[in-house]
A and B are shown apart, each in its own frame.
Chain A
Amino acid sequence: MSDEESGLVKIALVSCGSEYAGVQPEFEAAAAKVNAKFIYPEIDVSSVDTIGRDFGLEVASGDLRLMMARAKAVVEGITNADGVFITTCFRCAEGAIVRNEVRRYIHEHSNIPVISYSFTESTSAGTLLTRLEALTTIVRRRHLLTREVQTGLTAGIDSGSTTTKAVVMRDNKIIGMGWVPTTKVLESAEEAYSIALKEAGVSREEIQALGTTGYGRFLIGTHFKAQLVQEEITVNSKGAVYLADKQKGNATVIDIGGMDNKAISVQDGIPGMFTMGGICAGASGRFFEMISKRLGVDITELGALAVKGMHEHVSMNSYCIVFGTQSLVNSLARGATPEDVAAAACYSVVEQIYEQQLQEVDVKEPLILVGGSSLIAGVPKALGELLKIDVLVPENSHLIGAVGAALLASGFVEE
């Protein structure tokens, strides 16, 4: 059977020598799980000596020059790849420069989906899985991702790390929604789904197709016999442009989740470049939960508090939830107001997303902010201030994954 017949996705591995970092088995394992395989683009060895001048970026490392030559081979079609995985060592400055420029080069000169990642020797297949799943989905299910209208009666469940969301949609409208904290994955999903079904006034049997996404997608997907079990990068970007009514043209989606953040560059509803944070809880919904708890307010009140405060009054440029807590305690001890602390927390999260993730994604307007944290009013305010652009928070922005899943699942109704 050919690769095409078996649905095998060929991902060009453009790396500076991940083979030497001991992470190769993890890469292979993650690829195997999404029915993909890595290929190494063939190049003419002499091109490694001249690629620096050809590419315009002259670096000392031979393997980084090899990366550029391999990227060129992919763009020029010498190597036939469905997707590209660009990866260099975490902590290497020269590698980071090349990784970023190679990603930009492939993005500008081809339509091949690309992801980039900086690895450590502790990189696990699990960390890479969502990213590779998204990459292969963009390759395999482009037709599904072009869906702009929800049809029939479908449902979506987003089993997130902090909250579980469910929606029921009929004829392009949300008719029922449920939102509960995630405790036990299956029970929370059952509860959220039941609430959504009740509000919609329909029974489970009437649902024509169901889509699941989020951390618990596989477990609940099997439990509910879902037609679509999909990672959150493609689902959320689809849900975001749908809710914001920006399905045509360029858009940038920022999703601040409970455990990780995604910055996704979207074109006509299809994700192009994306980055996924998640190493540090200092830039996620989890940080807001901790801040609210320490300030003694409910998380729903944190946004209103932050809008009244001035982030400049508190120094919270933290890259870690532990140091963030330290800054918070020190600030309060020095007499900072809860409003200023809340504002600083929002600014600190947004600043991290800006510094760590938006450098890898071309920010094109409209900028759509989604995920539970988008409901904290201080967050879009801080993001708008930092980027000097208007931030769009669509209605029901926290239900993004569930809505995206219900929308994409409706493709199965027609099929």
Chain B
Amino acid sequence: MAKVFIYPINSLILADLVERFGHKPLTMMSQIREKVTSLSLDSPPLNITPEDPKLGLKYAAIEVPAGVRGRMSLIGPLIEQTEAAIIVENPPTDFGCVGCNRTNELTKYLVRSKGVPVLEVKYPESDDEARDFVNKIATFLESLPKEKSEEDDKAKNEKQSEKEGKK
């Protein structure tokens, strides 16, 4: 199973496709859910506090608008987990409304610079294009490792323990 970052970051259709192929979609909904169900906070409607734009400083400098940094405090941690990504260009609003374009530009840049497999597709405008669109996504998702082998996990854990040991 791979953790797949999707763009638009709140697209239900993309999230569903990723899940159907046995992978985990990294979506904005999961981040927002965590915020709105946090009982200790009271900052309606999303429970984002002035601390969040400060957390966003990790991904965008202080000159960047507060709304971008606030959004990045949610999206940035997802990019950190990203193992593969699907980016759909020119999506209409109902495919997954993407709000602030400054955040979108930064998000796509950070995903592309991560060096993970990225599929970039254009939103389809005809039936043929739609078939091609789904096929491309399906092929991409199939190419990703379904299950991580135990050896891989073991190697990763050993590497992590080594790092911690050095510290």
Q: Which residues of A contact B (CB under 8 A)?
A: 16-25, 28, 45-46, 48-49, 59-66, 88-92, 94-95, 119-122
Asked if A48 meets B93 with Cβ closer than 8 Å, knowing A22-B53, A25-B42, A90-B66, the reply is: yes
Cβ 8 A contact of B100, one of A49, A61, A121: A61
Q: A22-B51, A63-B100, A121-B54 are in contact. Are A91 and B64 (CB under 8 A)?
A: yes
Given A25-B42, A46-B94, A122-B50: A20 and B67 interface contact (C-beta under 8 Å): yes
B45 lies within 8 A of A89 (CB): no
Contacts of B42 in A (CB 8 A): 25
Q: Which residues of A contact B98 (CB under 8 A)?
A: 62
Asked whether A24 lies within 8 Å of B94 as measured between CB atoms, the reply is: no
For the complex formed, measure the closest distance between the CB of B167 and the CB atoms of chain A, giving whole angstroms: 33
Q: Are A91 and B43 in contact (CB under 8 A)?
A: no
Beta-carbon contacts of B92-111 to A below 8 Å, as 1s and 0s?
11100111111010000000
In the complex with contacts A49-B92, A61-B101, A20-B63 CB distance below 8 A: no
Interface centre among A17, A25, A119 (most CB of B within 10 A): A17
Give the 8 A-B residue pairs with the shortest CB-CB distance, closest first: A89-B65, A63-B99, A20-B70, A61-B101, A21-B66, A22-B50, A60-B101, A121-B66
The A/B interface has a contact count, at CB < 8 Å, of 106
- Is B101 a contact partner of A19 (Cβ separation < 8 A)? no
Q: Is the pair A21, B48 in contact by a Cβ cutoff of 8 Å? A: yes
* B43, B48, B65, B70: most-surrounded residue (chain A CB, <10 A): B65
Which one of A20, A22, A24, A88 lies within 8 Å of B44 (CB-CB)? A24
Closest B-chain residue to A119, C-beta based?
B66
Given A22-B49, A46-B94, A48-B93, residue A16 in contact with residue B64 (CB < 8 A): no
Write out the residue numbers on chain B whose beta carbons fall within 8 Å of the beta carbon of A89: 65-68, 100
Cβ contact of B48, chosen from A20, A65, A91, cutoff 8 A:
A20
On whether the beta carbons of B97 and A62 are closer than 8 Å, the reply is yes
Pick 27 A–B contacts, CB within 8 A, sort by A.
A19-B48, A20-B52, A20-B67, A20-B71, A20-B100, A21-B53, A22-B43, A22-B50, A22-B53, A24-B46, A25-B43, A48-B93, A49-B92, A59-B101, A61-B101, A62-B100, A63-B99, A64-B101, A89-B65, A90-B66, A91-B63, A92-B68, A94-B101, A94-B102, A95-B65, A120-B66, A121-B70
Contact-residue bracket for chain B: 20 to 34
> Which chain A residues lie closer than 8 Å to B67 at the CB level?
16-18, 20-21, 88-89, 92
Assess whether B43 is in contact with A45, with CB atoms less than 8 Å apart: no
- In the bound complex, do residue A22 and residue B93 qualify as a contact, i.e. CB atoms below 8 Å apart? no
User: Which residues 15-46 of B have a CB within 8 angstroms of A?
Assistant: 42-46
> A222 to chain B: closest CB distance in Å?
29
Q: Is the CB of B69 within 8 A of A121?
A: yes
Q: Which of B54, B65, B67 has the most CB of A within 10 A?
A: B67
A23 touches B102 (CB 8 A): no
Given contacts A22-B51, A28-B44, contact A17 B93 (CB under 8 A): no
Contacts of B44 in A (CB 8 A): 24-25, 28
A47, closest chain B residue (CB): B93
Nearest CB of A to B28, in Å: 11
